Structure 1
Amino acid sequence: MRLRPLLVLALVAVLLAGCATDRRADALQKTLDDYSTALRWDSIVAGATFIEPKLRREHPLSKFEIARYAQLRVASYEVQGTLPGTPDTYRQVVRIGLINRNTQTVRDITDKQTWRWDAKDKQWWLVSGLPDVTQGD
């Protein structure tokens, strides 16, 4: 009979861990959706709010970078696949279609994103930075 309380306790621990994992996965999906929406419907610079705060402070966008991003509009955002990560990281490859506002030329770039889970803030942060829009220039 002593084994039964231990079994119940172990089952509860497993269920609680599963709930935490589900919440984290839900938070990841919401963050990824919000990020792609920010890039598509606002601007690439709006995506900077998703960058891990310490990295944002250490590497703020320059006026030149902001001006370069302002020249571009995101026409398409397609997740191509995921890459192996750890339980606290998520990596994905995204093809982004860009339109130059000045020349109306269209080109695609590949963005390899790394997202990291912040257990303290219960938030996923982009740690790979904004897309490199100079690809192919």
Structure 2
Amino acid sequence: MRLTRHRTALAFILLIACALLLPACASGAGKGEALHRAQYAWSAAIRWGDFEGAWNLVDPDVREQHPLSELELERYKQVQVSHYREMGAAQVAGDTALRDIDIGVINRHTMAERGMRYQEAWRYDEEARTWWITGGLPDFWRGQ
């Protein structure tokens, strides 16, 4: 009984230590880890249909030059993403990165699904210390 209490106390102490050290690990991460986090946030937003959230990850210069209209936002509400797959490792060259994506899209009105591929282009902003996607939201209606 006493041994169990010591193990429980030791496990609790280790858990607290890990929780305190985790932010220190994250703050020391380089551009590669920052790219991974940005791409994960982007893909999660797209997968779950949070296009407004994804829009916040678009390069501020692109957002300013090509603002997202209410009509465009309503159009994104008409689709559901069925899958979002990276087709290969990101190609990183300095402050830019490319990633090929295979994405499945379902029209909510017709329930018709189709697949498409597109390439994400990312830019590292040294001042903001973050990666921005430079191509805007995926164009699910390309050629239609």
Tell me whether the two structures share a fold, i.e. TM-score over 0.5: yes
Please give the per-residue CA displacement for 1:76-100, whole angstroms capped at 9, x wherever unaligned.
Answer: 0001125755210000110110111
Overall identity of the aligned pairs, in %: 32
Cross-structure match for 2:134: 127
Runs of 4 or more consecutive aligned structure 1 residues displaced over 6 Å after TM superposition: none
1:55/1:127 contact within 8 Å kept: yes
1:135 positional shift = 3.0
Q: Does 1:112 align with 2:90?
A: no
Q: What TM-score comes out, normalization by structure 2 length? A: 0.74
Aligned counterparts, 1:17-28, within 5 A: 23-28=30-35
Q: Does 1:75 align with 2:82?
A: yes
Q: What TM-score comes out, normalization by structure 1 length? A: 0.77
Question: Equivalents in 2 of 1:22, 1:35: separation in Å?
Answer: 19
Aligned counterparts, 1:47-66, within 5 A: 47-66=54-73
1:126 positional shift = 0.5
- SS of match in other structure, 1:110: strand
1:136 positional shift = 5.3
Give the unaligned 5+ runs of structure 2. Answer: 1-27
- Provide the alpha-carbon RMSD of the alignment: 2.0
- SS of match in other structure, 1:81: coil
Give the unaligned 5+ runs of structure 1. Answer: 1-20
1:64 positional shift = 2.4
Count of aligned positions: 118
Cross-structure match for 2:36: 29
Cross-structure match for 2:94: 87
Please give the per-residue CA displacement for 1:34-83, whole angstroms capped at 9, x wherever unaligned.
Answer: 11001112433431111011211121112221121110111100011257
**Equivalent residue for 1:41, pick from 43, 48, 54:** 48
Question: Equivalents in 2 of 1:47, 1:111: separation in Å?
Answer: 16
